């Protein structure tokens, strides 16, 4: 436990990942490469052949047999473009060759055309000493037949998809998309597009979370706002079927109108976690009819911090992704932090000129701070900082994908 009986991010994450390991998303489907971005590979991708399948030239130039290169001009016996199948290299000759073209049998290496002199009679003199193997990409240099190129549980992005294509795969087995029910609570919430009444605010978390979940490869079951009405909440929850996670925002804490919490508890169990972070202290976790529940705090900035730090890795782990921690790095603080806090702080910040600058208003209710920022700065508990001190920066590019 962190100070004051609060749960540290690490402790909360450890519990959530243990839950995730115990309830993996079962089932996979096969998708075309074009639809594989963001999905999680269900089985390893192996190279069925050596890559490259034959030695080929890394340069535009001349293929040579080393024993023939004496400094004397040599005739050019063939011209080999990429995609051609060459003849064996005639002894005592060179082959004109271009990048990516297969090396002819009998050739030892390639000299780049910049180091070659073409004589008026068409013969070519190589101007420097050459060494066997130079400017050749050997057969199997990238991968050997049978080698695993991508492990199961790999998150597929453009590069992984490209690697699958290098070994001729046009379809990939991927984990089924997790179905995540997104629900918001609060009588104050109005959907964008509708007029705002007295005391009301627009529901921003719903749009934010749906977009984020889509990026993470989830299928969103968009439940909308649950009015603070126990009967209707019960009916709505009961109607959710085939859902892998119930993700709520707002209200599942200790408020008086906590009907969602009540309805969830009737057929499950919920625990309120108090996290030693700011923003994002309250987080609710549990089960409803066997379906995992994560209740994010309602304040948008609290919700995005807890979703990014905890719910995102939890979801990825349920898909079998091993490495779920976002890559982060140290940057100089572009600000002073004179007052140490008792909870770890995650501040919306922007990298500018190699330093992390803070958004001026860090209220957890202010979402435009996150649109301005390009990451979160982490300030450890009980720490003060002066401008220029190193702080950990978690880029949104890591958290959002
Ligand atoms: P709660 O967690 O329900 O106590 O809400 C905390 C704060 O977040 C309140 O100011 C709510 O109005 C606000 N809030 C809750 N849900 C949302 C939402 N879906 N969109 C925007 N603000 C919200
Ligand atoms: Mg509320």
Domain match, 21 and 129 both: no
- Residue 252: is its pLDDT beyond 80? no
CATH of residue 100: 2.170.190.11
Which pLDDT score, from 0 to 100, does residue 163 have? 98
Domain match, 17 and 37 both: no
Q: Is residue 199 part of a domain?
A: yes
Tally Cβ neighbours within 10 Å of residue 120.
5
Q: Is residue 252 part of a domain?
A: yes
Listed residues 84, 115, 137: the one ending a domain: 137
Counting from 1 in the atom list of ligand 1, the atom nearest the Cα of 203 is: 20
Domain match, 182 and 249 both: yes
Q: Is the CB of 251 under 6 A from ligand 1?
A: yes
Shortest CA distance to 212 belongs to which of 372, 39, 401? 401
Positive or negative CA dihedral for 247, 248, 249, 253?
A: negative
CATH of residue 153: 3.90.105.10
Listed residues 284, 318, 352: the one ending a domain: 318
Q: Is the CB of 282 under 6 A from ligand 1?
A: no
DSSP 327: P
Domain match, 241 and 355 both: no
Contact between 223 and 236 under an 8 Å Cβ cutoff? The reply is yes
Which pLDDT score, from 0 to 100, does residue 128 have? 96
Q: Is residue 323 part of a domain?
A: no
Question: If you average pLDDT over residues 318-347, what whole number do you get?
Answer: 97
Identify the residue whose tokens are 């979370």.
209
Lowest mean pLDDT among 240-244, 261-265, 274-278: 261-265
Distance 397 CA to ligand 2 centre (A): 29
Burial of 100 (0-12, 13-18, 19+ CB in 10 A): middle
Domain match, 227 and 339 both: no
CATH of residue 11: 3.40.980.10
Domain that holds residue 389: 329-399
CA-closest residue to ligand 1 atom 14: 298
Q: DSSP for 239-296, please give it.
A: H--S-SEEEEES--SS-TT-HHHHHHHHTEEEEEEEBSEES--EEEEEEETTEEEEEE
Domain match, 69 and 196 both: no
Question: If you average pLDDT over residues 352-357, what whole number do you get?
Answer: 96
- Give residue-wise pLDDT tens across range 71-125: 999 999 999 999 999 999 999 999 999 999 999 999 999 999 999 999 999 999 9
Domain match, 150 and 241 both: no
Domain match, 129 and 62 both: yes
pLDDT grade, residue 4 (50/70/90)?
low
Distance from C-alpha of 319 to C-alpha of 23, rounded to nearest angstrom: 9
pLDDT grade, residue 186 (50/70/90)?
confident
Question: If you average pLDDT over residues 133-162, what whole number do you get?
Answer: 98
- Residue 322: is its pLDDT beyond 60? yes
Q: Is residue 384 part of a domain?
A: yes
Pocket test for ligand 1, best of 184, 298, 304, 367 (most atoms within 8 A of CB): 298
Distance 111 CA to ligand 2 centre (A): 71
- Residue 2: is its pLDDT beyond 60? no
Question: If you average pLDDT over residues 23-38, what whole number do you get?
Answer: 97
Which pLDDT score, from 0 to 100, does residue 12 have? 97
Positive or negative CA dihedral for 159, 160, 164, 170?
A: negative
pLDDT grade, residue 58 (50/70/90)?
very high
Domain match, 182 and 227 both: yes
Which pLDDT score, from 0 to 100, does residue 255 have? 54
CATH of residue 374: 2.40.340.10
Q: Is residue 150 part of a domain?
A: yes
Instruction: List the shell of residues around ion ligand 2, using CB closer than 5 Å.
Output: 186, 250-251, 298
Please state, for a pLDDT cut of 70, what percent of the chain lies above it: 98
Counting from 1 in the atom list of ligand 1, the atom nearest the Cα of 184 is: 19
Q: How many CA atoms are closer than 13 Å to the CA of 63, on its beta-carbon side? A: 31
Q: Is residue 208 part of a domain?
A: yes
Q: Is the CB of 186 under 6 A from ligand 1?
A: yes
Q: Is the CB of 205 under 6 A from ligand 1?
A: yes
Pocket test for ligand 1, best of 186, 233, 296 (most atoms within 8 A of CB): 186
CA-closest residue to ligand 1 atom 5: 298
Which pLDDT score, from 0 to 100, does residue 379 have? 98
Tally Cβ neighbours within 10 Å of residue 204.
15
Report residue 148 as tokens: 């695993």
Domain match, 190 and 277 both: yes
Q: Is residue 197 part of a domain?
A: yes
- Residue 327: is its pLDDT beyond 60? yes
Angle at 277 between CA 1 and CA 308, to 5 degrees: 115
Pocket test for ligand 1, best of 259, 299, 300, 365 (most atoms within 8 A of CB): 299
Q: Is the CB of 250 under 6 A from ligand 1?
A: yes
Distance 363 CA to ligand 1 centre (A): 13
Which pLDDT score, from 0 to 100, does residue 227 have? 81
Distance 238 CA to ligand 1 centre (A): 24
Which pLDDT score, from 0 to 100, does residue 3 have? 52
Domain match, 203 and 299 both: yes
Which pLDDT score, from 0 to 100, does residue 254 have? 52
Is the peptide bond prior to 279 cis by the omega test (within 30 degrees of 0)?
yes
Domain match, 82 and 101 both: yes
Q: Is residue 111 part of a domain?
A: yes
Listed residues 257, 292, 318: the one ending a domain: 318
Domain count, the chain: 4
- Pairing relationship of beta strands 277-278 and 344-352 according to DSSP bridges: parallel
């Amino acid at each position: 436990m962190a100070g004051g009986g609060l749960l540290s991010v690490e402790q909360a994450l450890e519990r959530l990942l243990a839950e995730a390991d115990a309830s993996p998303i079962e089932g996979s489907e096969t998708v075309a490469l074009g639809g594989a971005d963001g999905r999680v590979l269900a089985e390893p991708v192996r190279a069925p052949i050596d890559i490259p399948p034959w030695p080929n030239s890394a340069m535009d130039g001349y293929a040579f047999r080393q024993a023939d290169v004496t400094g004397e001009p040599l005739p050019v016996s063939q011209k080999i473009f990429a995609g051609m199948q060459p003849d064996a290299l005639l002894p005592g000759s060179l082959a004109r060759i271009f990048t990516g073209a297969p090396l002819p049998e009998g050739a030892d290496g390639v000299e780049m055309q910049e180091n070659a002199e073409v004589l008026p009679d068409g013969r070519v003199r190589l101007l420097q000493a050459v060494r066997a193997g130079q400017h050749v990409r050997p057969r199997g240099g990238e991968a050997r037949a049978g080698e695993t190129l991508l492990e199961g549980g790999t998150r597929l992005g453009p590069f992984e998809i490209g690697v699958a294509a290098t070994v001729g795969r046009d379809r990939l087995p991927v984990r089924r998309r997790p179905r995540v029910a997104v629900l918001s609570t609060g009588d104050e919430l109005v959907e964008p597009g509708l007029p705002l009444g007295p005391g009301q605010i627009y529901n921003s978390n719903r749009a934010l979370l749906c977009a984020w979940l889509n990026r993470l490869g989830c299928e969103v079951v968009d439940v909308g706002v649950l009015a603070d009405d126990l009967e209707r909440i019960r009916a709505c929850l009961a109607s959710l079927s085939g859902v892998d996670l119930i993700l709520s925002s707002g209200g599942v804490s200790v408020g008086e109108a906590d009907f969602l919490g009540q309805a969830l508890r009737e057929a499950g169990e919920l625990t309120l976690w108090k996290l030693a972070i700011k923003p994002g202290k309250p987080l609710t976790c549990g089960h409803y009819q066997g379906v995992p529940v994560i209740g994010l705090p309602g304040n948008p900035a609290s919700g995005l911090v807890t979703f990014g730090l905890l719910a995102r890795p939890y979801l990825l782990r349920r898909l079998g992704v091993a490495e779920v921690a976002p890559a982060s790095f140290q940057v100089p603080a572009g600000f002073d932090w004179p007052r140490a806090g008792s909870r770890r702080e995650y501040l919306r910040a922007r990298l500018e000129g190699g330093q992390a600058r803070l958004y001026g208003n860090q209220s957890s209710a202010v979402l435009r701070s996150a649109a301005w920022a390009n990451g979160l700065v982490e300030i450890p508990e009980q720490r003060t900082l002066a401008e220029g001190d190193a702080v950990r920066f978690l880029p949104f590019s890591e958290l959002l994908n």
